[in-house]
């Protein structure tokens, strides 16, 4: 692509031949019917000579990614095939050498460390002044399991059958029984590797079949190595049980404690395969799904305790194997994860694997949403395999939780949120075949609505199964989708209005003109508002906002929550009106319908409290941050290359296309945030009052039963999150108090003896509430 590249080909190419004291090879013979070959070497060299070194010859499709993907052959840092003088291409490690049992244990434990560090990362153009960070979780097979010489020998040459899947093979590629008899520990290690590779295959396939981000969340590349997908699972199970037997039979060779330790590890492989297998089957009972995870938790205790019995064999792992993998990737180091780190990751994996099963216990759509929100908000976030498992439980084959239709969940949600016992949700409407019957139209229009809204609705669940950064980015797009869902829903609302027999209600005031209920578009609007709030809240969680932006962003959050509260009030007014109307007319309501009305009113009440808490606490923090800005305790950077208005544009870009609620103008936003006409002490009064309100509501919410707050399956997490919200409110109140005291001592507000410190998101009481600490200056 580049002329210097071509020069290199010509010059360096010849130079390297000179090194070997030989001529370049003759051109290949090309003769085939219908092909007339020309030797263009000389023309090519002549053309290349007319170019200056460094000239770029490229077409318009040559992109940065392609240039980043290129490597320089024979540069040892880029070319994994480059050998140092005297270096051999292959690893000298002899896999046929008899292993002691403690060595096998050491290798297995190293493989465990590699297994849990599987995952992402690739180079992109990057800032060079960076620190080399500690190794994180998550690297490709090439830097983890595929660096093991036993796995390499087992997978290459490609094993057609289970018998060939061994690192001890004879000249024909089949298992070398002679070598095996001399080396019984090898059978144990081999069985372990078989189980490991097979489970890697299943994990890879599960992840690939759900929504995830390649390289960012996980690297599914297997570099043309098989993960034993073609080998029968039962054969691998047999190999594992035979190996377990061997640990008993060969006590002559294997000391008891090590034999037991190996046994736990083999059992872990069997259980992991079982967990994966069960999860892939439809209609499993939650208890059955939880069992293998439970068992693995127990096994892990024993594995962790017996880790010290093993003897590490570092020479059984080599980056040289990367040369043989189908990849142009530069040589990369083996990822070194300590067993302690692996320990905590495995523990979490098993715990999360068990907990995620609880999602299957469906009670109502709002509890389901809360489960997903709270489970995914865990810190650290569940591993990608668990996140894809959750997706598969949720959506596999378009059957929700393996048993429910999308319509069932969607109608359940509509019933809870905006239209309990509505005629529009009556399944009997579907049976009507007479087009002139209103029920026919209702069924038809509702189907139209479901087709329009179902995907957007399910996408909320799927979005929250992604990594935290992606959730926010995805929601930024989703709000535009919900904007159109709302518009389309309003059209359907209008069409259906004559059939629903709902009386218009004066809104927002008693003397306002009567308004329509618009249940479908009200539902869509409520979700859009929640999505918008989540985007801002995730901005706090991901530390997107600069310190001097916090006052404004908390104001905007409060503005959105206020809008949501008003909207919930509207929905509630209509629902209560309908119930009151039934009572007034002494209509007998079936207990079933009464439950639905109660449930909806209960939901709206809870949602109103939730929106109010967000509004109050966001208000308090906005006032506090405005005060800190006024008192120069937060000082904006000079920003010579930018203006406040341009930054407002970029900050609010995701919200700009949204018509309702309309993005406040820059002037409105600035006035609302700065509150120039409010004295600082008054700002602190407002903050205090808002904190008090938030604390009160949180206290009420915290004591509610799961049914009242729609947290079936995740109530403990919800109580903990609510308590953390409370702590954030208390901390905000404390900061306000400290500031107020200091201001009393220095009414001019000059040189207050504090500095403002911020906590990293994972150190906060709650990630959404970035409460400043006022630390005395020394």
Of residues 645-664, which lie at the interface with other proteins (CB under 8 A)? 645-647, 649-651, 653-654, 656-657, 663
Of residues 333-392, which lie at the interface with other proteins (CB under 8 A)? 391
Q: Which of 19, 35, 36, 64 binds other proteins (CB under 8 A)?
A: 64
- State how far the Cα of 578 lies from the Cα of 522, in Å rounded to an integer: 16
- State how far the Cα of 674 lies from the Cα of 622, in Å rounded to an integer: 9
Binding mask 624-643 for other proteins (x = CB under 8 A): -------------xxxxxx-
* Orientation angle between helical segments 286-306 and 256-280, nearest 10 degrees: 150
In DSSP notation, 505-517 reads EE-SSTTSPEE--
Q: Does 60 bind other proteins (CB under 8 A)?
A: no
Rounded to 5 degrees, what angle do the CA atoms 313, 316, 319 make?
A: 130
Q: Does 543 bind other proteins (CB under 8 A)?
A: yes
Q: Which of 106, 138, 420, 664 binds other proteins (CB under 8 A)?
A: 138
Q: Which of 13, 24, 54, 314 binds other proteins (CB under 8 A)?
A: 54
**HSE-up of residue 54 (Cα within 13 Å, Cβ side):** 0
Q: Which of 21, 23, 39, 127 binds other proteins (CB under 8 A)?
A: 127
Q: Does 126 bind other proteins (CB under 8 A)?
A: yes
- State how far the Cα of 327 lies from the Cα of 324, in Å rounded to an integer: 8
Q: Which of 10, 55, 96, 566 binds other proteins (CB under 8 A)?
A: 55
Query: Which range in 116-124, 291-299, 434-442, 748-756 contacts other proteins by CB under 8 A?
Result: 116-124
Burial class of 203 by CB neighbour count within 10 A (0 to 12, 13 to 18, 19+): buried
Rounded to a whole number of angstroms, the minimum distance from the CB of residue 477 to other proteins is: 4
Q: Give backbone dihedrals phi and psi of 2, rounded to 5 degrees, phi first.
A: -115, 145
Query: Which range in 17-25, 132-140, 695-703, 720-728 contacts other proteins by CB under 8 A?
Result: 132-140
Residues 6+ apart with CB under 8 A from 547: 634, 756, 758
Of residues 449-478, which lie at the interface with other proteins (CB under 8 A)? 455, 458-459, 462-463, 466-470, 472-474, 476-478
Of residues 544-603, which lie at the interface with other proteins (CB under 8 A)? 544-546, 549
Q: Does 397 bind other proteins (CB under 8 A)?
A: no
- State how far the Cα of 487 lies from the Cα of 410, in Å rounded to an integer: 18
Query: Which range in 136-144, 180-188, 346-354, 739-747 contacts other proteins by CB under 8 A?
Result: 136-144
Of residues 475-514, which lie at the interface with other proteins (CB under 8 A)? 476-478, 480-481
Residue closer to other proteins (CB basis): 119 or 725: 119
Residue closer to other proteins (CB basis): 243 or 531: 531
User: Quick one: tokens of 754?
Assistant: 């504090």
Q: Does 130 bind other proteins (CB under 8 A)?
A: yes
Rounded to a whole number of angstroms, the minimum distance from the CB of residue 384 to other proteins is: 10
β-strand pairing of 514-515 with 773-776: unpaired
Residue closer to other proteins (CB basis): 211 or 347: 211
Three-class SS state of 566? helix
Rounded to a whole number of angstroms, the minimum distance from the CB of residue 666 to other proteins is: 10
DSSP state, 99?
P
Binding mask 701-740 for other proteins (x = CB under 8 A): ----------------------------------------
Of residues 309-338, which lie at the interface with other proteins (CB under 8 A)? 330, 332
Strand partners, 776: 754
Of residues 143-202, which lie at the interface with other proteins (CB under 8 A)? none
Residue closer to other proteins (CB basis): 104 or 485: 485
CB of 556 closer than 8 Å to CB of 619? no
Q: Does 53 bind other proteins (CB under 8 A)?
A: yes
Rounded to a whole number of angstroms, the minimum distance from the CB of residue 125 to other proteins is: 5
Q: Does 7 bind other proteins (CB under 8 A)?
A: no
Assign residue 283 a region (left: φ > 0; alpha: ψ between -120 and 50; beta: otherwise): left
Residue closer to other proteins (CB basis): 652 or 719: 652
H or E, element range at 520 = helix 519-541
Q: Which of 12, 75, 361, 583 binds other proteins (CB under 8 A)?
A: 75
CB of 660 closer than 8 Å to CB of 525? yes
Q: Does 282 bind other proteins (CB under 8 A)?
A: no
Q: Does 50 bind other proteins (CB under 8 A)?
A: no
Q: Does 755 bind other proteins (CB under 8 A)?
A: no
- State how far the Cα of 81 lies from the Cα of 78, in Å rounded to an integer: 9
* Helix, strand, coil percent values for the chain (each to nearest 5): 60, 5, 35
In the chain, the N- to C-terminal Cα span, in Å, equals 60
Q: Does 56 bind other proteins (CB under 8 A)?
A: yes
Query: Which range in 236-244, 419-427, 537-545, 750-758 contacts other proteins by CB under 8 A?
Result: 537-545
**HSE-up of residue 532 (Cα within 13 Å, Cβ side):** 35
Query: Which range in 11-19, 65-73, 89-97, 594-602 contacts other proteins by CB under 8 A?
Result: 65-73
Q: Does 217 bind other proteins (CB under 8 A)?
A: yes
Q: Which of 6, 7, 119, 698 binds other proteins (CB under 8 A)?
A: 119
Total binding residues for other proteins by CB under 8 A? 91
- State how far the Cα of 418 lies from the Cα of 442, in Å rounded to an integer: 17
Query: Which range in 108-116, 206-214, 607-615, 733-741 contacts other proteins by CB under 8 A?
Result: 206-214
- State how far the Cα of 174 lies from the Cα of 194, in Å rounded to an integer: 16
Residue closer to other proteins (CB basis): 54 or 508: 54
- Extended strands (E) in 600-695: none
* Orientation angle between helical segments 438-463 and 384-395, nearest 10 degrees: 170
Rounded to a whole number of angstroms, the minimum distance from the CB of residue 208 to other proteins is: 10
Please give the torsion angle defined by the CA atoms of residues 125, 129, 134 and 135, in that order, rounded to the nearest 10 degrees. 20
CA distances from 55 to 6, 47, 51 (A): 10, 12, 6
Residue closer to other proteins (CB basis): 403 or 642: 642
């Amino acid at each position: 692509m580049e002329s210097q590249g071509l020069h290199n080909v010509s010059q360096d190419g010849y130079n390297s031949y000179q090194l070997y004291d030989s001529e370049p090879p003759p051109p290949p013979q090309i003769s085939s019917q219908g092909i007339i070959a020309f030797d263009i070497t000389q023309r090519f060299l002549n053309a290349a000579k007319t170019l200056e070194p460094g000239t770029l010859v490229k077409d318009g499709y040559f992109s940065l990614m392609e240039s980043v993907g290129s490597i320089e052959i024979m540069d040892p840092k880029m070319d994994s095939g480059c050998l140092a003088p005297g270096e051999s291409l292959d690893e000298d490690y002899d896999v046929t050498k008899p292993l002691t049992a403690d060595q096998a244990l050491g290798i297995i434990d190293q493989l465990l460390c590699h297994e849990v560090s599987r995952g992402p990362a690739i180079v992109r153009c990057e800032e060079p002044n960076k620190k080399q960070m500690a190794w994180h979780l998550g690297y490709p097979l090439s830097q983890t399991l595929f660096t093991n010489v036993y796995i390499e020998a087992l997978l290459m040459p490609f094993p057609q059958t289970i018998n060939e899947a061994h690192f001890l093979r004879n000249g024909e590629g089949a298992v070398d029984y002679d070598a095996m008899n001399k080396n019984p520990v090898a059978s144990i290690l081999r069985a372990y590797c078989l189980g490991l590779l097979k489970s890697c295959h299943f994990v890879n396939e599960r992840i690939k079949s759900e929504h995830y981000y390649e390289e960012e969340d996980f690297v599914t590349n297997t570099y043309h190595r098989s993960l034993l997908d073609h080998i029968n699972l039962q054969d691998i199970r047999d190999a594992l049980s035979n190996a377990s037997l061997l640990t008993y039979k060969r006590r002559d060779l294997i000391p008891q404690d090590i034999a037991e330790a190996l046994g736990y590890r083999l059992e872990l492989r069997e259980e992991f395969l079982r967990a994966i297998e069960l999860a892939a089957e439809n209609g499993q009972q939650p208890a059955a799904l939880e069992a293998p995870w439970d068992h693995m938790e127990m096994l892990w205790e024993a594995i962790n305790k017996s880790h010290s019995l093993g003897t590490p064999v570092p020479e059984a792992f080599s980056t040289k194997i990367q040369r043989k993998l189908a990849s142009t990737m530069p040589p990369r180091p083996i990822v070194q994860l300590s067993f302690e780190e692996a320990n905590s990751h495995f523990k979490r994996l098993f715990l999360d694997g068990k907990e995620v099963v609880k999602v299957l216990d469906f009670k109502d759509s709002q509890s389901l949403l809360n489960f997903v929100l709270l489970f995914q908000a865990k810190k650290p976030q569940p591993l990608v395999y668990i996140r894809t498992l959750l997706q598969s439980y949720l959506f596999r084959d378009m059957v929700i939780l393996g048993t429910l239709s999308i319509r069932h969940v969607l109608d359940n949600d509509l019933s809870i949120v905006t239209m309990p016992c509505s005629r529009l949700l009556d399944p009997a409407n579907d049976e009507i075949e007479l087009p002139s019957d209103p029920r026919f139209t209702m069924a038809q229009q509702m189907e139209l609505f479901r087709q329009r809204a179902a995907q957007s609705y399910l996408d909320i669940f799927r979005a929250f199964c992604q990594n935290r950064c992606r959730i926010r980015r995805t929601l930024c797009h989703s709000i535009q989708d919900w904007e159109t869902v709302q518009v389309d829903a309003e059209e359907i609302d209008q069409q259906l209005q004559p059939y629903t027999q709902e009386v218009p209600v004066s809104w927002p005031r008693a003397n306002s003109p009567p308004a329509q209920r618009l249940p479908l578009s009200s539902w869509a609007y409520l979700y859009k508002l929640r999505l918008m709030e989540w985007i801002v809240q995730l901005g706090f969680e991901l530390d997107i906002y600069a310190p001097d932006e916090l006052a404004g962003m908390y104001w905007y959050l409060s503005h959105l929550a206020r809008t949501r509260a008003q909207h919930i009030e509207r929905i509630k007014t209509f629902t209560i009106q309908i119930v009151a109307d039934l009572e007034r007319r002494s209509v007998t309501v079936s207990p079933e319908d009464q439950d639905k009305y109660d449930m909806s009113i209960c939901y709206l009440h809870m949602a109103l409290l939730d929106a109010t808490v967000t509004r109050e606490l966001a208000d308090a923090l906005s006032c506090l941050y405005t005060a800190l800005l006024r008192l120069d305790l937060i000082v904006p950077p000079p920003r010579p290359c930018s203006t406040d208005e341009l930054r407002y544009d970029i900050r609010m870009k995701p919200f700009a296309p949204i018509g309702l609620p309309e993005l406040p103008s820059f002037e409105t936003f600035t006035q609302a945030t700065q509150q120039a006409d409010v004295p600082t002490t008054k700002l602190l009064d407002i903050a205090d009052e808002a904190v008090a309100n938030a604390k009160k509501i949180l206290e009420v919410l915290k004591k509610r039963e799961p049914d009242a707050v729609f947290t079936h399956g995740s109530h403990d997490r919800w109580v903990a999150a609510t308590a953390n919200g409370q702590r954030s409110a208390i901390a905000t109140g404390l900061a306000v108090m400290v500031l107020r005291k200091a201001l009393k001592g220095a009414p001019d507000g000059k040189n207050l003896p504090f500095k403002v410190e911020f906590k990293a998101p994972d150190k906060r009481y709650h990630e959404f509430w970035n409460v400043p600490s006022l630390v005395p200056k020394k």
